[in-house]
Amino acid sequence: MLRIPCPHCGERDYTEFRYGGDASKPRPAHDERDVRAWHDHVFVFANPRGPHREYWQHVQGCRQWLILERDTATNTVGAARLARDGAGA
């Protein structure tokens, strides 16, 4: 079971969280109308092996969205910080 270090609540089981996808690429601006930009954001992923940044929300805790470092090869968890403190990319 992954244990996620929530900056607010401390280290918790991943079952308290929901996964929110890739946090390593920027979301297009809200008023971006280019279909290609949104297509790439929503559908195209790098799927890296190794260190990766992901969104996780502590739904059963502080409700905060985090950006978590996770190694996809070893499934080891690194640091977590609040998503609101900086854009994902």
Partner 1 sequence: MSRGPQRLAHGGRIDRDRPIRCDFEGRPLEGFAGDTLASAMLASGIAIVGRSFKYHRPRGLFAAGVEEPNALVTVGEGGRTTPNLPATTLELRAGLRARRQNGWPSVTIDLGAMNGWLAPLLSAGFYYKTFMGPRRGSWMTYEPFIRRAAGLGRAVHERDPDRYHARHAFTDVLVIGAGPAGLAAALAAAAAGAEVLLVEQDPALGGALLAAPVTGPLEHWRAQLEAAVRATPTIEVLTRTTAIGVYDGRTVALLERHDHAAPDPERGAARETVVTLRARAIVHATGAFERPLLFADNDRPGVMLASAARTYLNRYAVAPGRRALVATCTDAGWLTALDLAAAGTAVTIVEQRDEVAPPLADAARGAGIEMHTGATVARALGARAVAGALVEPLAGGRGRRIDCDLLCVSGGWSPALHLTSHTGRKPRYHPELDAFLPGDWAAGDFGAGALVGAYSPPAAYASGLAAGRAAAAFSGHARAGRTPPAPADVDEPTTFATALAPPRHGRGRTFVDLQNDVTLKDVALAHAEGYGAVEHLKRYTTLGMGTDQGKTSNVNAIAMLASLDRRGIGETGTTTFRPPYTPVSVGALAARNLGRHFRPIRRSPLERWHLANGATMIEAGPWLRPWFYAWAGADVGSAYLEEMRLVRGGVGICDVSSLGKIDVQGPDAAEFLNRVYVNGFAKLAVGRARYGVMLNDDASVLDDGTTARFSERRYFMTTTTAQAGEVMSWLEFLLQTAWPELRVHVVSVTDAWAGMSVAGPRAREALERALPGVDVSNEALPHMGVREVALDGIPLRVLRLSFSGELAYELYVPANHGIALWEHLLDRGAPLGIKPYGLEALASLRIEKGHVAGLELDHRNTLDDLGLGKLAAHDKSYVGRALRARPALQAEDRWSLVGLECLDAGARLRGGSILFAAGDAIAGHGRGYVTSVTFSTVLGRTIALGLYQGGLRHRGEEIVCAFPLKDETVRARIVSPVFVDPEGTRLHV
Chain residues binding partner 1 by CB under 8 A are 1-3, 13-14, 18, 20, 23, 27-28, 30-35, 37-39, 41-43, 55, 57, 59, 63-65, 74-77, 82-84, 87-88
CB of residue 46 to partner 1, shortest distance in Å:
18
Query: Do the beta carbons of residue 55 and residue 20 sit within 8 Å?
Result: yes
CB of residue 24 to partner 1, shortest distance in Å:
12
Beta-strand pair 51-57/18-22: antiparallel
